[in-house]
Chains A and B, each alone.
Chain A
Amino acid sequence: MGEDRPTPFGPDPDLENRVGQLGDDPEMMELAADTAAAGREAELPGASARPGGDYEADAAATAEQKRQRRYLFRALLHSPTFMIGLIIVLFWVFMALFSTFVTQDPFAQNAFGSLRTPSPAHWFGTDDLGRDVFARTMAGARTVLLIAPLATILALLWGGIIGLIAGFWRGLTDEIIMRLIDVLLALPIIITSILILSLFGKSTAIIIVTIGALFTPVVSRTVRAAVIGEREREYVMAARLRGERSAFVMAREILPNITQPMIVEGTVRLGYAVFTAATLAFLGFGLEPPSPDWGLTISTERAFLQIAPWTVLFPALALASLVVAVNLITDGLGRTFSK
């Protein structure tokens, strides 16, 4: 075995004895034999001196994990892309939650003050209905920041389950799942979502579920690849040898070890979810007026692009800043994790 990464656990001296007790399950025998062989080869200097009991080894492993987590955290704080992205995203989260306390009413119309240029009274000017563009731009983050994270969580949940099953069981189940995923990926996401949304209506809940469902195949693929990388490792074999059920091995053994690729995948999907939610709103498959949603505002106000560009450009820049910020976070996370 060319595995050069030492596991927290040394080779188990009892393993070969236990192989004999496993009985007649040939797959398990093979697994155990492989594990034992691997254990002999991977004999580490400190490992043979391990005094009995798993307790200390476990404690050492947790301490090591904690130290590693602290190191990652500190590395993230020193990543400029991550921090800039985080600050911008937090700004929009704050605005989504509290903008109405800070700005004017985003819905208040004023028939006599429409399409005014930016001024001290209206920092970003007013739109065709005399509404304050600054207030609407700040409030515009709400819908996107509701839809995109929830859709991402759904996609991670479903994709995680499907990917774990496909990657862990392999065989026919895997083959069928991967074929179905190929089919779903054969249709561009925007087009499938237009089909679904014109079919089921366009409430916020349906948009969230649609985006979540359409992102599930890609997430499953990533998770499956990560699981396949993990399932041959010693700790998985050890758990199977202990006789743990598949569900337990997947959820308690493999899942904690693929959190890093899943977090990166989650932030990547979050960026795409913001993109997709905004695009659907722009195409008229999102919210209805008078929602201050950025995509919707750009779609409805673009008729005034020539005479009152501020009604379109400020929401456009706001949306751009959020999407770029999410991707900066992804970039920072990916860089830190791959170090």
Chain B
Amino acid sequence: MLRLIGRRLLLMVPTLILASMLIFALAEVLPGDVGRSILGPYATQQQVDILNHTLGADKPIYERYAVWAKNFVTGNWGHSPVNQLPIASTVMRALANSLLLAGFALVIIVPLSILIGVFAGLRRDSFLDRTITISTLSMTVIPEFVSGVILIWLFAVQLKWLPVSATPPDGANFFERLYYLILPAIPLMFLELGYIARMARVGTVQVLSMPYIRTAVLKGLPRRRVIFGHVLRNAMVPTVTVIGSQVGWLIGGLVVIEFLFVYPGIGQLMLLSAQQKDVPTLEASVLMVAVIYMAANLIADIVVALLNPRIRMGG
């Protein structure tokens, strides 16, 4: 088990290094002349050159990458050239906001969609199963801004049950903040619902065809114990894997939802810094997202291993 985790962690390092190179290469070509984009069109060329030199933007790209990577690892992320704020605290605050939103959505949707999927799998190929599968998948494939505007119109404009804005007034306590997050969280839940439910359903259908389930039924175990003791546990394996792999789409969804609801999370920060050509902030936030994404996949692998003795022992 430890060997498995160790090997996966070792595999993450080169992937992360290559990803950081990719981000750096993309982001460095992005702004054209760094000094010029900060000082604007009216600065003299001399001023631009001086700023470029103090920023280190006139050094060769591999040298700048080395400095950047070292600073990133040591947590020395510097200040944003656009608003002069320390990047580390900006990114971390945005990340905390996003994690609250994404975590809120996941805490509700993961158990719910697993239940829906297992329920559909137990009634395999019935009308109910088909209806559940098609409708949950439809909810998942509809872009989150589409479901977002429809939900805003329905729950905030028509019914007036929920606030349009995602940002609570100052001094709101934790539960008030969650109340403001309900509406933004629903499209994110939709995004996950179909896949998790589908995997839970497939897992259930597969497990149900296993001989040991027949044994369990034949030896007279009550249906409830068969489902909760055997089916649910084994249907979890593909489900957890897909939750890990869906984190990428969840992050993409966060960008869209935070833009739609004007919520100060990591997605909005990335979008904003891309628009403002705030390259250091953009690089730091994209790289942080990559780290989180890979960590999520690693955690998913570990949980799968914990659920499945064959992988756990063989690791």
Contacts and interface: CB of A to CB of B under 8 A. Distances in A.
B143 A191 contact: no
B50 interface: no
B1 interface: no
B289 interface: yes
A195 B27 contact: yes
Contact of B15 (A179, A192, A198, A283): A179
16 contacts: A187-B22, A188-B251, A188-B289, A188-B293, A190-B252, A190-B256, A194-B271, A195-B26, A279-B143, A295-B143, A298-B149, A305-B153, A306-B157, A316-B149, A320-B142, A323-B141
B259 interface: yes
Contact of B146 (A192, A305, A316): A316
B22 A183 contact: yes
B244 interface: no
Contacts of B18: 179-180, 183
A336 to B, nearest CB: 15
Residue of A195, A305, A313 with most chain B CB atoms under a 10 A cut-off: A195
A263 B18 CA distance: 31
B252 A283 contact: no
Contacts of A106: none
B293 A186 contact: yes
Interface residues of B, number: 44
B270 A191 contact: yes
A298 B71 CA distance: 41
A326 B138 CA distance: 10
B302 interface: no
B15 A182 contact: yes
Nearest to B270: A191
A81 B134 contact: yes
A323 B14 contact: no
A327 B137 contact: yes
A179 B149 contact: no
B256 A188 contact: no
Residue of B146, B249, B289 with most chain A CB atoms under a 10 A cut-off: B146
Contact of A185 (B144, B248, B270): B248
B294 interface: yes
Contact of A324 (B141, B271, B274, B294): B141
B290 A186 contact: yes
Interface of A, secondary structure class, is helix
A278 interface: yes
A278 B147 CA distance: 13
Contact of A309 (B16, B29, B153, B256): B153
Interface size on A, as a range, is 35 or more
B51 interface: no
A195 B22 CA distance: 11
A190 B146 CA distance: 16
Interface string B145-185: 11101101100010000000000000000000000000000
Contacts of B197: none
Given A186-B19, A187-B22, A198-B30, A282 B145 contact: yes
A282 B142 contact: no
Contacts of A279: 143-145, 252, 256
A271 interface: yes
B7 to A, nearest CB: 14
A38 interface: no
A295 B145 contact: yes
Nearest to B30: A199
Given A283-B255, A331-B134, A331-B137, A186 B294 contact: yes
Interface in A298-339: 298-299, 302, 305-306, 309, 312-313, 316-317, 319-320, 323-324, 326-328, 331
B286 interface: yes
A189 interface: yes
B54 interface: no
Nearest to B137: A327
Nearest to B247: A188
B251 A323 contact: no
Contacts of A185: 248
A313 B150 contact: yes
A196 interface: yes
Contact of B30 (A195, A295, A298, A309): A195
A328 B135 CA distance: 11
Q: Nearest 6 A-B pairs (CB), nearest first?
A: A190-B252, A183-B18, A188-B248, A188-B251, A316-B146, A327-B141
B132 interface: no
Contacts of B23: 187, 195
A158 interface: no
Contacts of A180: 18
Nearest to A183: B18
Contacts of B157: 305-306, 309
A275 interface: yes
A80 B170 CA distance: 52
A307 to B, nearest CB: 9
A179 B154 CA distance: 45
Contacts of A298: 145-146, 149
Interface in A236-281: 271, 275, 278-279
Given A195-B286, A305-B157, A327-B137, 16 more contacts: A179-B18, A183-B15, A183-B18, A184-B22, A187-B286, A191-B252, A271-B141, A275-B143, A282-B145, A295-B143, A313-B150, A319-B146, A323-B141, A323-B142, A323-B143, A324-B138
